[in-house]
Structure formats: C-alpha cells, structure tokens
Structure 1
Amino acid sequence: MNPRHRDKVAFVRVCSGKFTRDMSVFLAGADKKVRLSNSNKLFGQERETVDEAWPGDIVGLVGHQEFKIGDTLTENPAIVFDEIPRFPPECFTYLYNPVPSKFKPFRLGLEQLILEGVVQQFTVKDAPPSTPLLAAVGPLQFEVTQYRLEAEYGVQSKLEPAPWQFVRWLDKEGAETLNGGSVHLGDNVRLGADPAGNPVIFFPTPWALRYFGDTNKKIALYELPQKQ
C-alpha cells in the first residue's frame, strides 16, 4: 500500500449473516449506528469495491477511525464477542522528537500508531505533557514505533527509558485516597492515568509493588482497567 496515502482502512471479517455495502450496524459498546459505505477488497496497492460479502470474507472499511482491534460490528446490539486477551505493559519509555520543525508529523504519526494499538500512551501526574510516556508488553513494540514513524511519516525519534516496570489500575476509592496525600507512595512510585483517563499507579520494581500491596491492603490494584 502507498505510505503517502493517509486514509485509514479497518479490516473486518464477516462472521455470520451477509454484509452489504451501505448497511448500518452497531459498534459494540456504542449507542449510535455506523454506516459502512466505503467497503473494499484490497490486494497489494489495488482496491476493488465490495458490494456483498459472506462469512469468512475480509472487507476493508475506509475512513472509520473509531474502529479498534477486537471491536464487534453487528445489526443486533445484544451480540458482543469476547475481547482479545490483554496483558499489562511491563516496558516504559519516553519518546522524544529531536527535530522541532517536524513536530506536526511526529505528533500525527504517533497518534495514529497509538490508535492502532502498536503502543499505549500514559500520563504521569504533575509531569510535563510535552514528552509522551509510552508503554508496551515488550521492547520490540518501541522499535516498531520508531521504524514506522521514520518510514511512513519521515520523522526521527529518540527513546529514553522510564524507571518503571509495572503499572496497576486503581478504582475510584483508591485513587481518591492516594490523591489525598495521606499515603506515602515510596521512591519512584508515581500516579497517572491511561488514555481513557482511568487512574493508574506506576512501580519501579517488583519489591515496590509487593511492599505497596502489603502496606496498603485496603487499596485495590488491578492488572487491567476494570469495566465500568
């Protein structure tokens, strides 16, 4: 596919029933319907409009930025497939743009890669927002991010490892307790938030994680964000 093109294609597998172009479906978890008008079959750099598709077929839907990996599209909003298994990130790094004049393509490219799920971005409480904190299950994801930024957006980047090895999600009560300042967090233990605004806490070592859990048993820690 041509890397100069900036349109977005979501690949969807038809699991049951019949797909028809211009049909309206529900995106699981959302209340509104989505019209699937620009449907294509892709082969290399070529596209062919798809009017109908059947179970097992793969359809490329252009221009739907709201679709994410594992989403369910259905005519019946009661149908929801189990989400793809997720794992908490264990690698954290700051990503820098060394060329200020390339800020716009750097930001655009990073936002797109985060949207695709290549890496996750977190915020750290009281930290400057200019340098993004990226998180991944393994360091290879950072290499992929840097490669794609340069290959697809023409921008270079630099990594600076962050001091954390673990992130845990907090519930509302736990976040309020910790933000109140009555609990000593420990060295290099920081509060923050995930992309959805859910409160998190970062730990630099396994010992710091265990110690915090042992001394703050009333504060629940979760490996993944909890469904609301």
Structure 2
Amino acid sequence: MTAVSAPSTGEASPETTAGDTGAEARRRRTFAVISHPDAGKSTLTEALALHAEVISAAGAVHGKGGRRGVTSDWMDMERERGISVTSAVLQFSYRNQVINLLDTPGHGDFSEDTYRVLAAVDAAVMLLDAAKGLEPQTLKLFDVCRDRGVPVLTFVNKWDRPGREPLELLDEVEQTIGLRPMPITWPVGIAGDLHGLVERADGRFHRFTRAAHGAAKATSQVLDADRAAVEEGPDWQRAVEELALLDEIGAGYDEQAFAAGTATPVMFGSALSNIGVARLLDALVDLAPPPGPRPDQKGEPRPVEAPFSGLVFKVQASMDRSHRDRVAFVRVCSGRFERGMVLTHDATGRPFATKYAQAMFGRDRSTISEAFPGDIVGLVNATALRPGDTLWAEQPVTFPTIPSFAPEHFAACRVADMSKTKQFRKGIEQLDSEGVIQVLSSDLRGDQAPVLAAVGPLQFEVVSARLADEFSAPVKLDRLDYSLARRTDPAGAEALRSAVGIEVLTRRLDGELLALFPHKWRLQAVAQNNPDLLLAPLVADAL
C-alpha cells in the first residue's frame, strides 16, 4: 500500500475565523468502525481512506494469511496474522470536513481497547457480514454504543459474495438489537451477484465495475429507473418490489430517530471491491453528528466552545521502531488546542506541557499546531498520562473515567532470564499503564511474578511479544485456573485467604482487592456460605 502524507487539519477553514471553535467543531466527524472478526473492518477502513484520496492504492487481497498489512495495522503480529489487535487513528480531509476515523480491533480478545475508543467518538459504523449478519462480538460492541449513546450507521459488507436476503438481515437487526433499519441504498442482485445499488432518495441505479483486487476505486455508471428496468430485468424488478415494501412499512430516514439511537441508516456494498464505500463516506459527512457538549463526571455538559478540555482514551508505546516513545491519544472535547500550551492533568493537579503534539495516520505522524473538538491529538512522551485521564485549561473539568472490562483469563508472569529483571519490571509497568493488560500483585507472589488478567488469551501473546521485542525480556507464562474476578474489601480478603481454590490479589492501578474464582459455582458457594462478604462485580461486568 502506498500512503500519502496526512493532510494538515489544524488550520481553520477559509470561511471561518481561527478562533471560531464552534464552526471548526461542526466540520469534524469522529467515528469508529466496529465489527465481529473477519467482517472486513480493516479492509473497510482502508477503502474509506482510498476514496478520500489519502492513500493511492489499497493493499488488501483475498485471505488474511496473505494480506499485506493495512495502514492502520502497525504491529508485527497484526501484519503476520492479518488481524487488528490494537486501535489506530486515521485523520484526513474530505469534502472540506475533517475526518477522524478510529480503527478498532475486531478480535473479541481486544474488546477492551475498542471500549476505550468508543469513549472518544461521536458515531460508529456497525459492519455486518452479508452471510453471517449479527455476530456475538458485534452485539457486545453495540451494547457499548447504546450504553454511551453513540449513534450507529450500518454497512452490510461482502454483498459480492453469497449471503442472506437483505430483508432478512434488516429484520434480524430490528428484532435482535431493537434498532429500526432505515436503508439509504439497496442492492440490485442477490448476495454473490451484485449488479449495483439503488439510491433510495432519487431512485437512480449505480452500476459498479470493480477494479482488479479492489486496489483502486470501483467505477460506476448512473442509470435512471427506466433504463435500469430494461437492462437489469428481473433483478431490478425484485429490488423495486423490496423498496416498495420498505416504503409501506415506513422505513424512511428519520434524523431524530438516528440521533436518539433508536434507528440506524443502512447501506450495502463490498469493502474489498470498493463498492458502496464512497456512499458510506458521504453518509458519514451528511448524517453523522459533529462534536457536541460532553457530560462531565457530574453529568453537566461541557460546551465545545468552552476552554480546552480533552480525554485520554488510549496510550501506546513503540508504534514506530525508530521512535521508542510513548504516545497518549487525546480526544479534544472542547476549546482550541494549541501546541505548546500548558494544561492541567486533572488526576494529579500538575501542569502538563504539550510541546510535542502530532496528528496520527496509522503509524505515520505529523506535527500539528492546533486542533479542535473532535480531533485526536497524539501527545508524545506523555509518561504521566493513563487511559481515562482528563486534561484541561482555564476551567477545571473531570470527565467520567473509562471502566475496565472484567478479566476472564489469568496467568502468572515470570522473566525467563533473571538478569533481565529490571527490563521486565519496566516493561510490565509500561504495559499496565497503557491498558494492554491488567496487572495484579499479591504479597504471596511478590513483584517477581505478577498476575496478568486479560479479557482474552491473545492479550497474553501481545504482552509476551512486546516484552521480548521492546524490552529484551522474554517471559514465561503459567496459566491460572481462574475465570471470574470479584471486588472485595480488606475484611473479605482476610476471610478468603484460607479458602481453597480462591486467590485475593491487588489490582495495581487503583488498589482495589480482587478475589479470583475458578468458576461461577465456586463463587456461588462462597457467597451463600458468607452472605456478609463483599463480592461485587467489576464496573464493566454489566456490558
């Protein structure tokens, strides 16, 4: 894949003054793409960048094992396996708008990273496989969107391959997650034999011719309804009948329902063939909400015109092998960011200088001088910042913290070479602060063998790979037979210390005591025998 330099998006548009923060905020669209693994999320991300003309050729080919890494995949593991295991930011311009596209991990083992990303966006694109429809990981991520009030657009992908009936997919969306589908485009031709798409607003037919391997934009020819009826025959007639049914049931676009999170615009296409992708990009500009007031910890909205405030939603180190630095990703929530300004780190009350501020385009980066609400700013060497932290200027504000997912997998971690103990401790501390893994400790095990707690087992592989590569500290992992964690207090910890098959550890970041159980039946038995013990679910258990 050949990428061009990310555009400078910090400058105000010609129609607005540099200080018109509200006008600049209205030019921003900040969204994430969410999906089940293998639905084509990274391919769609790449195709959107291609249609915005910020990359010159797509690098996706059939089969993940042979796929060249996409722009947003920067870790060796991602490129080798063809999966996204960490989120990335692509910022570019399109139609005089500034697009902040956050590519999220598709694999369920890294859903905690996606959860943090969804705290930083104003909308989400829910990507569905035409053959599989709604899948477990998609459902879980949609629940997070609903919990956060994030409006969702739906893109039914892989329509150039065999799949299900379009009306059946729409019914599944409505019945399973309660979103009323509002098709914007409609396919002509069954799944696997896609001829083109009908634009519901004007009834015109867009016939596509895909480029070889989807490396370039698909060309299209626009036909009116009469000509389409002659040339497409039965396929056109079937599409017309389906569209008439949609009209009868009132499946037209409703802006208020979309904003309220009760309905979803739906588009069809193929990311790999670049069909329908340009229409999705236009829909994001036309329909997705711009940045608006963001509630603080007390529920009071912080207007976009207020002095600068930002939410740290991700911390990532060593994105570029030539720069072993640490980048904090900050969503600008209000005001105008200017490089070099001194902010207040809300968690500590200490000043935080922003001399090294960058715009991100996957692993590529460029220095920026200013940014506005909705933009994502990369602050380099921000060692004091952690996910969930708030930064502000002039007027104090605290945004809600980002809860951690309840871990379900646990492993004791030991350095393989004791001469690398110092590097090991440094690496564990860094990965813990980034949120790559949850690190637990106990008096029994000591610092030599912290317990790693993960949502999914692939997180352990990421930790092992990064400790060996970035810190020259290969490790040994001993899996532990626990699958549940519950919060307890000192009295509960003391009562559980002698219990068989249970371990009490301290979560290092917040000091909470966690009791680990092998399965839910053991938890139930302990709770029944000790009704006064505190055994509370972690904050994000309900999601």
TM-score, length-scaled by structure 2: 0.37
Alignment gaps of 5+ in structure 1: none
Give the letter for the 1:126 counterpart: L
Match of 2:405 in 1: 87
1:104 matched to 2:417: no
Computing the radius of gyration from Cα coordinates, the structure with the larger value is 2
Please show how residues 1-228 of structure 1 align to structure 2 within 5 Å.
1-3=319-321, 5-43=323-361, 47-75=365-393, 76-78=395-397, 80-171=398-489, 175-176=490-491, 178-179=493-494, 185-195=498-508, 196-224=510-538
Q: How many angstroms does 1:178 deviate by?
A: 4.3
Q: How many angstroms does 1:26 deviate by?
A: 2.8
CA distance in 2, matches of 1:177, 1:200: 10
Output one character per residue of 1:114-147: Cα deviation in whole Å (capped at 9) or x when no partner: 1111111111342343112110111111111112
Residues 136 and 2 from structure 1, CA distance in 2 versus in 1: closer, same or farther, beyond 3 angstroms?
A: same
Output the aligned Cα RMSD. 2.6
Give the SS at the match of 1:161: strand
Residues 177 and 97 from structure 1, CA distance in 2 versus in 1: closer, same or farther, beyond 3 angstroms?
A: closer
Q: Per residue, is there more helix in 1 or in 2?
A: 2
> Does structure 1 conserve the Cα–Cα contact (< 8 Å) formed by 2:492 and 2:534?
no
Give the SS at the match of 2:515: strand
Give the letter for the 2:483 counterpart: Q
Give the letter for the 1:176 counterpart: A
Q: How many angstroms does 1:106 deviate by?
A: 2.6
Q: Which runs of 4+ in 1 moved over 6 A?
A: none
TM-score, length-scaled by structure 1: 0.83
Residues 155 and 178 from structure 1, CA distance in 2 versus in 1: closer, same or farther, beyond 3 angstroms?
A: closer
> Does structure 2 conserve the Cα–Cα contact (< 8 Å) formed by 1:8 and 1:63?
yes
Give the letter for the 2:505 counterpart: G
Residues 213 and 12 from structure 1, CA distance in 2 versus in 1: closer, same or farther, beyond 3 angstroms?
A: same
CA distance in 2, matches of 1:28, 1:157: 35
Give the SS at the match of 1:145: helix
Q: How many angstroms does 1:93 deviate by?
A: 0.2
Output one character per residue of 1:179-203: Cα deviation in whole Å (capped at 9) or x when no partner: 2x5x675312122211032222221
Match of 2:11 in 1: none
Residues 40 and 219 from structure 1, CA distance in 2 versus in 1: closer, same or farther, beyond 3 angstroms?
A: same
Q: How many angstroms does 1:91 deviate by?
A: 0.6
> Does structure 1 conserve the Cα–Cα contact (< 8 Å) formed by 2:486 and 2:536?
yes
CA distance in 2, matches of 1:222, 1:37: 43
> Does structure 2 conserve the Cα–Cα contact (< 8 Å) formed by 1:123 and 1:133?
yes
With CA pairs under 8 Å and 6+ residues apart, which has the higher RCO, 1 or 2?
1
Match of 2:90 in 1: none
Identity of aligned residues (%): 37
CA distance in 2, matches of 1:185, 1:107: 29
Output one character per residue of 1:150-189: Cα deviation in whole Å (capped at 9) or x when no partner: 3323332221111222221123xxx23542x5x6753121
Alignment gaps of 5+ in structure 2: 1-318
> Does structure 1 conserve the Cα–Cα contact (< 8 Å) formed by 2:497 and 2:503?
no
CA distance in 1, matches of 2:463, 2:526: 32
CA distance in 1, matches of 2:463, 2:492: 36
